[in-house]
Structure 1
Amino acid sequence: MANIRIGDNAIPFNLPGVDGRKYLLSDYDDREAVAVIFTCNHCPYARAWEDRLVQIQADYAGRGVQLIAINSNDASKYPDDSFEKMKERAEEKGFNFPYLHDEDQEVARAYGAERTPEVFLFDADGILRYHGTVDDNYEDPEAVREAYLRDAIEAVLEGREPATAETAPVGCTIKWK
């Protein structure tokens, strides 16, 4: 289970992005909500949700919401998750959010992330308001009945608690060194 719980503060980080920039969580202190999403290139679950994450970022950017994707997988065991392959994947999929590399896995360990993808949604004060999966159907976007992340974002933007604050993350395990 995650190290940080609903109501806890976000854990700061400073990680390189596929665009050559360094990213700090504090770069987004002016946002209404920030979703930190542990993901990777090779996991079929992570891949299945990528287009939906791009759409969520597009839909909510104008309302002060920022998604941040972090890959913490061991690229020596999973070459598809190398920094070079991350750059290729971000370009290929048109990521409209930072895609960061947690090479030493310190950020994933600090958060207690275990799966790809695994979502941590923070409000404007950096308080964890939602933790879990993106929605209830990774296979078929048309069959989604529970859009957990979208619902949680709406709740945070409206200043209320999400109806569902925690779900079980669905995906591959993070590949530890």
Structure 2
Amino acid sequence: MKKIIGAVMLVVAAVCSSSAQKTTATYKLGDIVSDFKLKNVDGTMRGLVTDAGREKGYIVIFTCNHCPYAKAYEQRIMDLDKNFRQSGYPVVAINSNDPKEAPEDSFEKMAERAKEKNYTFPYLFDESQAIAKKFGAVRTPQVFLLNRNKQGKLELVYTGAIDNNWEDAAKAHRHYVEEALTDLSENLKPATAETKAIGCTIKWKK
């Protein structure tokens, strides 16, 4: 009887473990990304399909207020939205930092920053940090480029850095996100689909 009970417990443990792994699985290149709803700095709940599916995709960027790398890339993020929104790839910025660990990244400070800099894109607060974990985001800034496939689903086609020089935009000679978007405009998969994101680590809740 003890052997039977032990065997049953092992099976249950295996099922629970498998379930947990599925729950915590992060997106990989080629995966279909599900919509989500997070609080935008204007107080509304915002996701990826609020524009009735007219977008060809989204430039999802995990960023924040306080990180020196995020600050260095702020204008470049604004330029990405300005340059590619009309062609169907708007920016969606997400802050997943715990305000207790980084007070400058509180929702109130986010709203102030967005107003001060006149962001033209949503700046969402991932308070539970569930979306960052689902995407597998670990740094700020970190890009996840989504493209609407032939079935109308949003597919992850590029992840990583914006370009190859965080300190000086003028000295960057590889513009990874722009290169990926150019490939997509020619109905090609991005030649460079993954790079290493350079930035501060996301400040996780303790």
Is TM-score (shorter-chain normalized) higher than 0.5? yes
Preserved CA contact (<8 Å) 1:48 1:138: yes
Q: 80, 93, 100: which one pairs with 2:124?
A: 100
Cα shift at 1:33: 2.0
Distance 1:130 1:155 in 2: 11
The structure, 1 or 2, with the larger RCO (C-alpha pairs under 8 Å, 6+ apart) is 1
Query: Which amino acid in 2 is paired with 1:161?
Result: K
Cα shift at 1:79: 0.6
Counterpart of 1:154 in structure 2 is 182
Cα shift at 1:124: 1.6
Preserved CA contact (<8 Å) 1:135 1:144: yes
Q: TM-score, normalised by structure 2?
A: 0.82
* 1:109-150 Cα distance to aligned partner (Å, 9 max, x none): 111110001100011231111000100011101101000011
Distance 2:100 2:184 in 1: 38
Counterpart of 1:32 in structure 2 is 56
Alignment of 1:3-152 (within 5 A): 3-28=26-51, 29-125=53-149, 126-152=154-180
Segment of structure 1 superposing worse, 53-62 or 65-74: 53-62
* 1:80-103 Cα distance to aligned partner (Å, 9 max, x none): 000000011112222111000001
Query: Which amino acid in 2 is paired with 1:22?
Result: M
Preserved CA contact (<8 Å) 1:11 1:110: no
Distance 2:57 2:49 in 1: 12
Distance 2:186 2:33 in 1: 20
Unaligned runs of 5+ in 1: none
Counterpart of 1:173 in structure 2 is 201
Aligned residue pairs total 176
Query: Which amino acid in 2 is paired with 1:78?
Result: A
Cα shift at 1:51: 0.3
Distance 1:11 1:41 in 2: 26
The sequence identity of aligned pairs, in percent, is: 46
Distance 2:70 2:120 in 1: 16
Q: TM-score, normalised by structure 1?
A: 0.95
Preserved CA contact (<8 Å) 1:129 1:156: no
Preserved CA contact (<8 Å) 1:30 1:124: no
**RMSD over equivalenced CA pairs, Å:** 1.2
Cα shift at 1:26: 2.2
